[in-house]
Structure 1
Amino acid sequence: MHFLSDDLEDYIEQHSEKEPELLARLNKETYQKILLPRMLSGHFQGRVLGMLSKLIRPTAILEIGTYTGYATLCLCEGLQEHGVVHTIDIKEELVDFQRKYFDASPWGTHIVQHLGEALGIIPGIDQKFDLVFIDADKENYLNYYEMILPKMNKGGIILSDNVLWSGKVVQELQPNDLSTKVLLEYNKLLRDDPRVETVLLPIRDGLTVSRVR
């Protein structure tokens, strides 16, 4: 869900850094060929992710939820010369699509694709992370957070996407709506957890930035 009018969103994009040409191609092909293209981060959020990465200058990045790889490439923009990105997704049919664009970028050899359930894969990655992007099944956000927090470097950043969940977080909770229930608990945890400091930004469908103390 977008919380701004189309006119304001257009104005914001026009007055932000231009979408890189490779990402524009990836954006277009995702909308042409892939199911649920609105899952793609898109121009404005992509520029936010790229800017954050450049400010952080991470050596190791973890992404939970690759989709077509748009956000992956944005996160790579600030990657250190010998850095690595581990990105996890469950959709086997997207692996070759992702790799095509990864290899067309300057970071192809730095990106490690993992296929399968993140909760089973993360414990096997022997790495401490500077930057993590959580953008997968909402029911497991709490589980992902508790699993990755011990693997974060001090001062590392955890980004959590879709935390406003189309505005459902301020609507009456429906009895069978597990995703919204978990996100409500997750947002409260990030606010109250003394291990991190957090700001929730109204970017696209909500983006939380949490810094590990």
Structure 2
Amino acid sequence: MHFLSDDLEEYLANNSQKEPKLLQELTRETHLKVIQPRMLTGHFQGRVLSLLSKLIQPKYILEIGTYTGYSALCLAEGLSPDGELHTIDVNAELYDMQRTYFDRSDYGTKIHQHVGDALDIIPKLDIVFDLIFIDAEKKQYDNYLETVLPKTKPGSVILSDNVLWSGKVVEPLDKKDKTTKVLLDYNKKLNEHPLLDTVLLPIRDGLTLSRVK
């Protein structure tokens, strides 16, 4: 679902920071070689992630859901000079493609890839994260949140993607639609969580910003 007209979306992109050439190439290759290319973060949201990261200037970033690496590269743009980005994905087949683009960027040595279930990997990371981006299996969003919270500190920012779920969150709920129900509960939990300040932004398919108190 497009929440804005194509003309407005094009206007937003044209009046935001230009998409870096490397990310243009990654977008092209993703559409040519990888299934479900619509999962790609894309130009406008990518620039939003980049700017947020630059404002926060995180030392440690955690990304849950790498896909082909577009969002990781955007987030890495704001890393502090001695920073690290840890990104997790279950699909080992995309590892080499991700690495190719990471190594072509200015942040290759700062980006660490993990393959497997994020719920198993995160507890083993002895790191307190300044910025976390959740963009993987939607039915696990609540579990991701509970797993990452112990890895945060006051001021840490948690970003959650696809929280509008193509507008289904405001449509009559189909009892068989488990994913939308999970996201409805997750959005409510973020907004009411005593440890978080939260705002939901209508960027692309919905992006929630939560700050740890």
TM-score (norm 1): 0.99
Gaps in structure 2 of 5+ consecutive residues: none
Match of 1:193 in 2: 193
AA paired with 1:128?
V
**Is 2:32 aligned against 1:32?**
yes
Match of 2:155 in 1: 155
Match of 2:77 in 1: 77
Match of 1:8 in 2: 8
Gaps in structure 1 of 5+ consecutive residues: none
Cα RMSD for the two superposed structures? 0.6
AA paired with 1:68?
T
Once the two structures are superposed, the pairs formed by residues 116-131 of structure 1 within 5 Å of their partners are 116-131=116-131
Match of 2:65 in 1: 65
Structure 1 position 153, deviation (Å): 2.0
Structure 1 position 2, deviation (Å): 2.7
Match of 1:210 in 2: 210
Give per-residue Cα distances to partners, 1:139-163, cap 9 Å, x unaligned.
Answer: 0000000110111121010000000
Identity value in percent: 63
AA paired with 1:179?
T
The separation in 1 between residues aligned to 2:109 and 2:63, in whole angstroms, is 16
After superposing on structure 2, the runs of 4+ consecutive aligned residues of structure 1 that deviate more than 6 Å are: none
Match of 2:20 in 1: 20
Match of 2:176 in 1: 176
Match of 2:98 in 1: 98
The separation in 1 between residues aligned to 2:15 and 2:63, in whole angstroms, is 28
Match of 2:45 in 1: 45
Give per-residue Cα distances to partners, 1:149-197, cap 9 Å, x unaligned.
Answer: 1111210100000000001101111112111111000000011011010
AA paired with 1:79?
L
The separation in 2 between residues aligned to 1:153 and 1:22, in whole angstroms, is 33
AA paired with 2:116?
G
**Aligned pair count?**
213
TM-score (norm 2): 0.99
Match of 1:142 in 2: 142
Match of 2:88 in 1: 88
Give per-residue Cα distances to partners, 1:22-59, cap 9 Å, x unaligned.
Answer: 11111111111110000000000000000000000000
Moved more, 169-178 or 158-167: 169-178
